[in-house]
Structure 1
Amino acid sequence: MTTARSWEQRARRVRAALAYGLLGVGLLGLITSTPFVLAALAPANTDWGKLSDISQAYGAVSVVLSAIALAGVALSLLYQVRQTRTSNEQAIRDSHLQLATLALSNPDLLQAWSPPVAPVTLKRHQQHLITSLALGELLQRFRIGHLSAEKLAVKLDGHFRGEIARDQWEREGPGWRRTMEAGDRRDRVFVRLVDERYQTAVATGPALAVVEFQDRPDRP
């Protein structure tokens, strides 16, 4: 369902980009054909010298309009490329989520997933996988600009309040660093910010234990 929706969104964006591109090409064609249309419609006794002076002034305007039209085409193509990249990343993310869901639903299949960097119980391994997926979601939103660095920091502060998130990053952080440092600028900014907020959380005080979330005696 999510994949179908992402492809539908991609199709709408491509159609919008093509519409802007066709509009720019049409405007450029209109500018180019105008002198020929005027020549065909002009009376036989037309003062072409006067029209030449007018056309020179018109030429300066047409250059500006042509530049605007070309800029519009370039921007529409750039927008299309960016949206295509975003759609592809979302499709890959959806595929990864489906695999993770399948692995989490069956402990035997989870053994086929990348093994933990250090021995852990099956339950904690599943929890680490969920925590890793949560970080991946934040990374995706940061990549496409839905989260600024400031908002991401707020999200990470909440993320690292829990002991499972801290334990997962302590174990798997080095792997994330190697992967993100090999990526683009936003990937490197992301992993450095995650490290920074993790260190801040640790310095602030102990993490909230799982019992504080779900097994508190004051809850019915």
Structure 2
Amino acid sequence: MVISGIALAGVAISLTLQEQQTKAARDERDRSTHRQMIYLTMGDRALAECLEPPNGPMPFERYRQIIFANLIMGRWYAAYQLGDVDDSTLRYTLERHFRGEIGRLHWEYGGHDWLRGAIGGNQRRAAAFAKIVKESYRAAVNAGPAIPAADYFISGGADLDPQNP
């Protein structure tokens, strides 16, 4: 009787783990499909017109930058949901991200919609992520103007080799 109870508990645990693995695989498949579609739209204006229109007219290049920033945010969200990134690392990453013009534009453009669409799965982690992003964005805005994208890089100079600074 005890052995059959232990065996039944083992089967239940095994089924639960299998369900979690199946959901994780399905979620990754969906994210991968989404990424592929976004990459295609970033290179083709006609395909980009199949997405939701921007909140206001903007150059296609700027729209591409905002879409790519959205992919970056999505990656951080997934890493946070999985526990691969902790609160302090997320805050540090967002602090640096929101120093720049494109990061802020992305959040101004679609932050509200992004959070509304992204929250799912582990609700507690999603709410914590949302709170950290909102706080980080607010802190960056309060710290002063964003660094303009045109000022990110210098021209004419030699590129720094990260292997040989």
TM-score range for the pair, normalised by the shorter chain length: 0.7 to 0.9
Q: Structure 1 residues 67, 146: CA separation in 2 closer, same or farther (over 3 Å shift)?
A: farther
Residue by residue over 1:135-187, the C-alpha shift from the partner in whole angstroms, topping out at 9 and shown as x without a partner, is 11111222222223333222222221211010110121121233346775132
Higher helix share: 1
User: Within 2, Cα distance between the matches of 1:149 and 1:189?
Assistant: 9
Counterpart Cα distance in 1 of 2:118 and 2:101: 23
Confirm whether residue 130 of structure 1 aligns to residue 68 of structure 2. Answer: yes
Give secondary structure in 2 for the equivalent of 1:153: helix
Query: Could you say what secondary structure the match of 1:199 adopts?
Result: helix
**1:24 matched to which residue of 2?**
none
Is the 2:81–2:122 Cα contact (8 Å) retained in structure 1?
no
TM-score by length of 2: 0.81
1:73-98, CA deviations, whole angstroms, 9 ceiling, x for partnerless residues? 33322221111111111100110111
Specify the alignment match of 1:114 in structure 2: 52
Question: What is the match of residue 103 of structure 1?
Answer: 41
Match among 144, 164, 167 for residue 105 of structure 2: 167
TM-score normalized by structure 1?
Answer: 0.63
Q: Which residue of 2 aligns with 1:219?
A: 157
Match status 1:147 vs 2:82: no
Secondary structure at the aligned position of 1:195 is classed as helix
Query: Which residue type is aligned with residue 200 of structure 1?
Result: A
Identity of aligned residues (%): 33
Is the contact between residue 180 and residue 191 of structure 1 (CA under 8 Å) also seen in structure 2? no
Could you report, residue by residue, the CA deviation over 1:81-140 in whole angstroms, capped at 9, with x for unpaired residues? Answer: 111111111100110111111111112221111111222211111100000111111112
Displaced runs of 4 or more, over 6 A: none
Aligned to 1:210: 149
Q: Give the Cα separation in 2 of the matches to 1:79 and 1:183.
A: 16
Q: What number of residue pairs does the alignment pair up?
A: 157
Letter in 1 for 2:133: V
Give the match for residue 33 of structure 1: none
Asked which structure has the greater CA Rg, the reply is 1
**Alignment partners' CA distance in 2, 1:92 and 1:102:** 16
- Listed as ranges, the gaps of 5+ residues in structure 1 are 1-61
Are 1:74 and 2:6 counterparts? no
Q: 1:101 to 1:73 in 2, by over 3 A?
A: same
Residues 112/146 of structure 1: CA separation in 2 closer, same or farther (3 Å cut): same
| Matches of 2:19 and 2:4, distance apart in 1 | 23
CA separation in 1, counterparts of 2:66 and 2:95? 17
